[in-house]
Amino acid sequence: MSKPIIAPSLLSANFANLEADLDSINRSDADWLHIDIMDGVFVPNISFGFPVLKYVAQISKKPLDVHLMIVQPEKFINEVKALGAMMMNVHYEACPHLHRVIQQIKDAGMKAGVTLNPATPVSLLADIIHEVDMVLLMSVNPGFGGQKFIPHTLDKIKELRALIEKTGSHALIEVDGGVNMETGKQLIDAGADVLVAGSFVFNAPDRVEIVRKLKQL
């Protein structure tokens, strides 16, 4: 079995020491850098905007996995593309015309992902799963870092894996929220491909080492 993809989450970085924090991720075996953009409307928090992310994109040597926790994410496809993002991820709950948005992201030259909040069932993806490159399952309620893992996520991963195999989709399964060595192993065993880890990586004394350990799960 291939090693999991590890995507440290920028939300947990120290923005007063951002260049050094990003350098530690650049030196690690992390595969991607996960970026959460929040608007204070779709989720009860505001994170960072494109002027900050332009700087992050210049420093990061990892592909950018951009997760938009905002209303009307389709308005910002060009801005995300301008960052050089590898993946643009939008919420199912924020996109009444999801198929159109997925196509617009792909037409812009990025991979397209769709995110489900903890209370949103996997079955709602049946008609779009073959169009997306990745599904992100939130294992905490979105908006804040450092939250406790929701165990039901493991059942949702298994259900999503079955849907992917049944439909012949090639979508990756990404999980974000409460990831550590214990939950990470459970998530990988359940069928996850990508682990987003925020505070667990950025609060570690040795980030390079903790990423290496996550890659061994």
Whole-prediction pTM:
0.97
E strand map for 86-158: 87-91, 111-116, 134-138
* Predicted pLDDT at 99: 98
- Rg, the chain, Cα only: 16
* Predicted pLDDT at 147: 77
| Both structure tokens of 153 | 């996520």
* Predicted pLDDT at 131: 98
Edge to edge, the sheet with strand 194-197 lists 5-8, 194-197, 172-176, 134-138, 111-116, 87-91, 64-69, 33-38
Query: What is the phi/psi pair of residue 28, to 5°?
Result: -90, 175
Low-confidence ranges of the chain (pLDDT < 70): 1, 146
- Spell out the domains of the chain, with CATH numbers in brackets: 5-215 (3.20.20.70)
At 104-158, the pLDDT tens digits run: 999 999 999 999 999 999 999 999 999 999 999 999 988 777 678 999 999 999 9
Residues assigned a catalytic role: 36, 176
Unique residue bearing structure tokens 């994170």: 47
* Predicted pLDDT at 1: 64
CA 45 – CA 143 distance, rounded (Å) = 5
